[in-house]
Amino acid sequence: MNTSQIQAAWKSPSNIALVKYWGKKGFQLPANPSISFTLDKATTETKVLAQKTQGGGVSLELYFDGERNKAFEDKMLGFLRRAETGFEWLKEHHLIIQSSNTFPHSSGIASSASSFSALALCLCSIDQQLGLLSDKDFFEKASYWSRVGSGSACRSVYGGFNLWGQTDALIGTSDEYAVNIDDIVHPVFKNFKDTILIIEKGKKAVSSTTGHALLETHPFAEHRYRAGFKNTATLLEILESGDLDAFVQLVEAEALMLHALMMTSPTPFILMKPNTLAVIEKIQDFRNQTGLHLLFTLDAGANVHLLNPENEDNRVQEFIKSELVGYCQNALYLCNTVGKGPEKINT
Ligand code: 2P0
């Protein structure tokens, strides 16, 4: 192996939270546990080329879609300087990072979860090539460092369903990294669908990092954290039993609580748009009329994630085409299924 130059590449997905992470304690630790599933199509591909230097700390060049991106480079450099404690070789390497998303450009969505998990996986692969990381510890370390980059990213290093945050409801959980919970998940959830309805593309008015920070002085923060713990424990039971009605109720309540927290922050803000609410009402009406198990969840933005079991997907997709597409910007929506997790790319 040429040790003056080492490279690694990974394709890593985004994920959608069912119980939400909203509020931090300490540095990048969650105030309550969260549960998500990994998506199959919304991914970032990242390639890292590490060139040996004389030392003096990590340096980097970052190319996004082939073009050097200075704004992202500054954010990444801050992360990499922290990562020097976990990847000591970084101190004597110059990194050339090339990254691109598989989200359609026209969707205007980007994901810190897919980009930071892809980067952390590349760093772990290089660690492994240097003989510093065992197979057994690989994904735990990747999740740990994804979390340092962006909290929700730690849930993206595995496929299927994942839990991040220490909870007495499940042994082996941690605030520092996510764990995969597929072995408790009922088959009805295994191929769940997530259709992302693009209500509005483009940059959000308030970043998630700012939103998290507002919880520090939020009047309802303690209540929220208790609810997050309780909903995590309840969702674990639901995922095990396959109770779809209870799933619908809990996941929609979590999404609305997230946005209610934004609207009741010390500096209040609203990320939903009129079409977000119109779509939510349509989804709930259609569910009441048909008895199907379609439901919505929301991320920190205006777009709606429409979730449903695989065996109801034909009817849900017809409903989207006839009733919902008109509310989507440029008629855009992205169809995802529970994903298998990141893939290593041969370099
Ligand atoms: C989540 N979100 O659980 C929640 C729900 C958005 C809504 O985690 O500051 O990008 O980088 O740790 O992970 C988005 O926040 O925030 C997020 P940082 P992150 O998915």
- CB of 224 shorter than 6 A to ligand 1: no
**Ligand 1 center to 289 CA (angstroms):** 34
- CB of 151 shorter than 6 A to ligand 1: yes
For CA atoms 19, 22, 27, 31, give the dihedral sign.
Answer: negative
Report the 10 Å Cβ neighbour count for 315: 14
Atom 11 (ligand 1) nearest CA:
150
**CATH architecture classification, 188-337:** 2-Layer Sandwich (3.30)
- CB of 178 shorter than 6 A to ligand 1: no
pLDDT confidence of residue 298: 97
**Ligand 1 center to 243 CA (angstroms):** 27
Give the domain ranges of the chain.
5-185, 188-337
Residue of 333, 236, 231, 278 whose CA lies nearest to 22: 231
What would the pLDDT profile of 185-202 be if each residue is shown by its tens digit? Answer: 999 999 999 999 999 987
- CB of 259 shorter than 6 A to ligand 1: no
- CB of 146 shorter than 6 A to ligand 1: no
For the whole model, what pTM was predicted?
0.97
**Ligand 1 center to 4 CA (angstroms):** 36
**Ligand 1 center to 294 CA (angstroms):** 24
pLDDT confidence of residue 175: 98
- CB of 293 shorter than 6 A to ligand 1: no
Quote the radius of gyration of the chain (alpha carbons, Å).
20
The number of the ligand 1 atom at minimal distance from the alpha carbon of 116 is 11
pLDDT confidence of residue 3: 66
Q: At the top level of CATH, which class does the domain 5-185 belong to?
A: alpha beta
Q: What's the CA gap between 310 and 320, in Å, rounded?
A: 15
**Ligand 1 center to 62 CA (angstroms):** 23
pLDDT confidence of residue 330: 94
Residue 189: both structure tokens together: 């959830």
Dihedral of the CA atoms 210, 222, 249, 114 (nearest 10)? 30
**Ligand 1 center to 23 CA (angstroms):** 9
Atom 8 (ligand 1) nearest CA:
152
The number of the ligand 1 atom at minimal distance from the alpha carbon of 34 is 3
pLDDT confidence of residue 333: 96
Asked whether the domain spanning 188-337 has the same topology as the one spanning 5-185, the reply is no
- CB of 299 shorter than 6 A to ligand 1: yes
165 φ, ψ (degrees, to nearest 5) = 120, 140
Q: Name, in order, each residue with C-beta under 8 angstroms of 29's C-beta and a sequence gap of 6 or more.
A: 175, 176
| Residues in the chain, pLDDT under 50 | none
pLDDT confidence of residue 75: 87
Strands (DSSP E) found in the chain: 5-19, 24-25, 29-30, 34-52, 59-64, 67-68, 93-101, 161-164, 178-180, 193-197, 295-298, 304-308, 333-337, 343-345
Q: Name, in order, each residue with C-beta under 8 angstroms of 227's C-beta and a sequence gap of 6 or more.
A: 32, 257
Cβ atoms of residues 34 and 155 within 8 Å: yes
Q: Residue 214 gets which letter from DSSP?
A: H
**Angle ∠(107,281,32) on CA atoms, nearest 5:** 70
